[in-house]
Amino acid sequence: MQRTGWKEAVVYQVYPVSFRDSDGDGLGDLAGITEKLDYLVELGVSVVWICPFFRSPWVDNGYDISDYRDIDPRFGSMADFGRLLSEMHRRGLKLLMDLVVNHCSDRHPWFTEARKSRDNPYRDYFLWRDPKPDGSPPNNWTSYFSGPAWTFDEATGQFYLHLFTKEMPDLNWENPALRREIHDILRFWLDKGVDGFRLDSMHAYGKAAGLPDGDPSEGPPVGIEHFSSLPRTHGYIREMHREVFSRYGILTVGETDGVTVEDALQYTAEASGEVNMVFQFQHMDLDAAGGNRLLADGPVPVRKLKACLSDWQRGLMNRGWNSLYLSNHDQPRQVSRFGDDGVYREVSAKMLATILHLQQGTPYVYQGEELGMTNRRIESLEEVRDVESLNAYRDLVGRGLVTPGRMLEAIRRRGRDNARTPMQWDGSVHAGFTSGTPWIGVNPNYRDINAEAQRKDPDSVFQYYRKLIALRRAHPVAVYGDFTELCADSGQVFAFVRRLEETALLVVANLAREPAVFDLPEGLRFRESALYIANYDCGDVPRSGVLRPYEAQAFRLEGVEG
């Protein structure tokens, strides 16, 4: 397998509206990110992915873009962007931008033109269809954000397709003129010096010819088998690679909901000429009730999580490449979801980091994860900001399918706002995020959980992340080593060996709060061992024994035989 910088990178994800507000309007901004670059350098990451900061009517927090070539005024100006990029480069940080081109905003000039008339030159940038004879939508597809995926446009008498909200019409990738525009947008930013793109909803670019009805049992959303990772989508990506990516040598990450290991191999195998890595969702959806992400059925069973992570490790090993993540701006906080955000918050946050960073793939750290930030308990619907949660509430409660109480509980547990509360910088008012009124409530635990305190504390979650990131940089086995799972039958212990020639890493973790027994496999022979990292006191020699709650240990083994 080829060794490359992006495989060795650790990516930090910034959700800009909640990261740092430099001007007191309650909204994070680009100058705020610039202020905090030294913090990212201290943490040790090498790539920073910043979620969209382009001009947007803000229906979906910036994922609805009305001008791909301009900065939204809430985030600052193009000059602020230039300063941010040059300050990043000066520190050796690379910038990964979010490219959201499955859809745009309904206020983008392409769409305002398109809806003027059926023969407008931009009409074919979108997917328009006549109603069925009874006036209903052209097919039964539903949106990721509840309700039908079609909205009727009175003026021109046709429906348009939107896989997200009705203010986010899907772009018609079949149209070569549209694809050329997108290539130009990519070049515009690449010529400014950005280092890569995260391609939002990339799996959905191509839609099946004829837009056939979906099988409801495949959803939600209904229709997914007709728009998820189709051969034509791979074709569009190869074309982008040929026309743009390959000419700049950049990092590309595809967000690919619903992908299987086989799809991911096709997207990322070195010979495919598509993207460098994917974000797959299987481990994120293990608790989705009947396919509905918000209606989670309680905690993810450890056995299921282990099996899923291991399947992906084995499936892509040395052939494709994965993004390693347990949280992002669309998911609850990982320590609340997979660990324990009460008494074991710190150890479980460190344990989750250990198992994630030591798999094969590129680790991502979502802002605040490195502090062990937790979900914030919302008390009422008025506190909810996220369009996905609000639409789901309206739909499911409105149709009498779910009670208001259950829905609020679901939003508390799984809602995207959990990850979007402001970054907790220090113990001052509003956690040092803003001097104004934050756009979304700060988690009240910021006095205990914040960056300033953790930077000073050698045992903090932050310091643990620093160490983990530095170790990964120093030891190629953590990046390139093969993966072999141990004790796959255990309902608590996730253990694996990463092996690169004579060197190996042995990673052992208890994923539960009850103690668990770990048996060192007899066949594992090595000349010497040293402790790599652990979240409790622990010697240099791995041994069988009892693991404490959420205990994680990793050892470096030399002279490994067999």
346 sits near ligand GLC (criterion: CB under 6 A): no
CA 377 to chain centre: 22
| Alpha carbon separation from 230 to 150, 206, 263, 315, 455 (Å, rounded) | 20, 6, 9, 20, 46
Subset of residues 87 to 106 that bind ligand GLC, contact rule: CB under 6 A: 100
425 sits near ligand GLC (criterion: CB under 6 A): no
| Alpha carbon separation from 267 to 128, 145, 238, 277, 459 (Å, rounded) | 29, 26, 9, 7, 40
Give the Cα separation of 439 and 424 in Å (integer). Answer: 14
Mark residues 307-336: x for contact with ligand GLC by CB under 6 A, - for none: ----------------------xx------
Catalytic residue among 29, 106, 200, 263: 200
CB of 102 to ligand GLC, least distance (A): 7
Contacts of 341 (CB under 8 A, 6+ apart): 333, 335, 348, 372, 374, 375
| Alpha carbon separation from 495 to 335, 432, 452, 503, 517 (Å, rounded) | 19, 39, 33, 17, 12
Which residue in 106, 200, 340, 417 binds ligand GLC (CB under 6 A)? 200
CB of 11 closer than 8 Å to CB of 96: yes
202 sits near ligand GLC (criterion: CB under 6 A): no
Which sign does the torsion angle of CA 474, 479, 484, 487 carry?
positive
197 sits near ligand GLC (criterion: CB under 6 A): no
Nearer to ligand GLC, 201 or 529 (CB): 201
Residue 468: exposed, middle, or buried by beta-carbon count in 10 A (0-12, 13-18, 19+)? buried
Give the Cα separation of 329 and 15 in Å (integer). Answer: 7
Nearer to ligand GLC, 329 or 337 (CB): 329
Strand partners, 170: 103
Give the Cα separation of 273 and 423 in Å (integer). Answer: 37
Active-site annotation holds for 200: yes
Give the Cα separation of 183 and 177 in Å (integer). Answer: 10
Subset of residues 484 to 503 that bind ligand GLC, contact rule: CB under 6 A: none
CB of 5 to ligand GLC, least distance (A): 25
- Cis peptide bond N-terminal to 220, omega within 30: yes
| Alpha carbon separation from 486 to 84, 286, 498, 520 (Å, rounded) | 44, 21, 11, 9
Nearer to ligand GLC, 330 or 340 (CB): 330
Contacts of 333 (CB under 8 A, 6+ apart): 327, 341, 368, 369, 373, 374, 375, 418, 419
Nearer to ligand GLC, 142 or 354 (CB): 142
Nearer to ligand GLC, 161 or 479 (CB): 161
Residue nearest to ligand GLC (CB): 63
Subset of residues 243 to 282 that bind ligand GLC, contact rule: CB under 6 A: 255
CB of 164 to ligand GLC, least distance (A): 5
CB of 248 to ligand GLC, least distance (A): 23
CB of 98 to ligand GLC, least distance (A): 8
Nearer to ligand GLC, 23 or 285 (CB): 285
Question: How many residues in the shown chain lie near ligand GLC by CB under 6 A?
Answer: 9
Mark residues 49-78: x for contact with ligand GLC by CB under 6 A, - for none: -----------x--x---------------
Nearer to ligand GLC, 100 or 302 (CB): 100
Nearer to ligand GLC, 52 or 138 (CB): 52
Give the Cα separation of 440 and 422 in Å (integer). Answer: 7
The DSSP result for 116-172, as a single string, is T-TT-TTGGGB-EEPPPTTS--SS--B-TTSSBSEEEETTTTEEEE-SS-TTSPBB-
CB of 60 to ligand GLC, least distance (A): 5
Subset of residues 106 to 165 that bind ligand GLC, contact rule: CB under 6 A: 164
State the amino acid at position 417 in one-letter form: D
CB of 169 to ligand GLC, least distance (A): 12
Nearer to ligand GLC, 179 or 329 (CB): 329
15 sits near ligand GLC (criterion: CB under 6 A): no
Which sign does the torsion angle of CA 509, 480, 252, 34 carry?
positive
CA dihedral 16→19→22→23, nearest 10 degrees, is 70
Subset of residues 163 to 192 that bind ligand GLC, contact rule: CB under 6 A: 164
Nearer to ligand GLC, 60 or 72 (CB): 60
Give the Cα separation of 322 and 58 in Å (integer). Answer: 30
Active-site annotation holds for 255: yes
Catalytic residue among 255, 287, 370, 417: 255
CB of 370 to ligand GLC, least distance (A): 20
201 sits near ligand GLC (criterion: CB under 6 A): yes
- Cis peptide bond N-terminal to 138, omega within 30: no
CB of 63 to ligand GLC, least distance (A): 3
CB of 16 to ligand GLC, least distance (A): 13
Residues that bind ligand GLC (CB under 6 A): 60, 63, 100, 164, 200-201, 255, 329-330
Active site residues: 200, 255
